[in-house]
Amino acid sequence: MTDGYTLGEAAQAIGVSLDTLRRWDRGGKLRTERDERNHRIVPVDEVRRLSGRPPRHETGAQLSARNRLKGVVRSVEVDGVMALVEIEAGPFLLTAAVTRDSVEELGLAPGVEATATVKATSVMVQRGG
């Protein structure tokens, strides 16, 4: 299968109607390919080109969370059934509250490589430092 979007997905990603996308395809403004069922597929680079927006990063994982910070565990503090795990990810320090079982199952300890995945319905942003 060719990587890309269906016409409907591409139209939504670009911000135009499906009819507009079909006109662009017939008029040569849009390059499409065919999948194994002979359906038109819009390549990812075409959607990026026509959307006028910079592409969003891709994690390469089959997970909806996009904010993934790879780093190294700096410390693990276990207290009862919970634990605090501090991860150094580049210039960032993250602290995650996880279960003791998770620490044991994942083998989290200082020096171990880990990825913090952030999925939140509320993110606060502050200007400057």
Q: Where are the domains of the chain?
A: 7-51, 67-118
pLDDT tens string 86-128: 999 999 999 999 999 999 999 999 999 999 888 776 767 677 7
In order, the DSSP letters of 77-109 are: EEETTEEEEEEEETTEEEEEEEEHHHHHHHT--
Q: How far is CA 114 from the centre of its chain?
A: 17
Mean pLDDT of 57-73: 74
Q: What is the pTM of this model?
A: 0.50
Which CATH architecture does the domain made up of 67-118 adopt? Beta Barrel (2.40)
Q: pLDDT category, 1, cuts 50, 70, 90?
A: very low
**Quick one: how many helices (H) and strands (E) in the chain?**
4, 6
At residue 60, φ and ψ (nearest 5 deg) are 80, 5
Q: What is the pLDDT of residue 110?
A: 97
Distance, in Å, from the CA atom of 66 to the CA atom of 18, rounded to the nearest integer, reads: 27
User: What pLDDT score does 51 carry?
Assistant: 84
